[in-house]
Amino acid sequence: MSLLILMRHGQSMWNAAGFFTGWVDVPLSIKGIDEAREGGKAIAHLPIDEVHVSMLIRAQMTAMIAMSEHNSGRTPVFQYSQEMEEGLSENEARMRQWSQIRGDAAKDSILPVHAAWQLNERMYGDLQGLDKDETRKQYGAEQVHVWRRSFDVPPPNGESLEVTAECTSPPHENTLMPSIEAGKNLFVAAHGNSLRSIIMHLDGLSKEEVLGLEVPTGVPIVYRYSAGSWKRE
């Protein structure tokens, strides 16, 4: 039996300002920091063996703040492969070379954190940085709702939830599921649409049903995996 704990990042500064964010890398607001802390307190008693986050700072902040509340007292530490690949930036190469932990006691005290761009929010294209209320006035509230919540209709020059689901599927199948099936308990801090695509898969939702799915900021959603099936707590 394993746990999969999903949590959307706390409110970001652009959530608070009412701007479409997408892949724009903005941090949490003060309210978002509080939401991450309260979300962490809600799951502090649950076992967690691995943390998975997107590449965006609002999800990473959420994970680190939430895990600072965990009862285990383990230190969340980003993991970097030691394998050197072609095309790495100097920063990536240095992190792979110089971030290795040598002491056994320190190794035993960490909570491994893995980052993947596939868990990022979907890209909102021409809407990124626009005011949500002004966009509703220009295009109509119904059209904006379809862009934001439908499965296969993308915003102009952006990604649909269908494309996001295609991105989240590889890490779910190749990274999360092997750990889950090995009996590990996972915490995933990500975004509204990347989590909607995962929940759609776990709950077996249709593309019509996912239209009404909302994922609140900073609220943990706990799934239990046992005997090949998922149950939402």
Q: Which residues are catalytic?
A: 9, 121
Question: How far is it, in rounded angstroms, from Cα 169 to Cα 119?
Answer: 10
156, amino acid identity? P
Q: How far is CA 76 from CA 64, 181, 187, 217, 218, in A?
A: 7, 22, 11, 21, 18
Q: Which residue has the tokens 């599927």?
A: 169
Question: How far is it, in rounded angstroms, from Cα 176 to Cα 49?
Answer: 12
Spatial strand order of the sheet with 221-226 comes to: 75-78, 110-115, 50-53, 186-190, 2-8, 221-226, 229-232
Q: Which residue has the tokens 């930036």?
A: 89
Q: At what angle do helices 132-139 and 141-149 cross, to 10 degrees?
A: 120
Question: How many CB atoms are located within 10 Å of the residue 90 CB?
Answer: 7
Question: How far is it, in rounded angstroms, from Cα 75 to Cα 232?
Answer: 28
Q: Give the total residue count for the chain.
A: 233
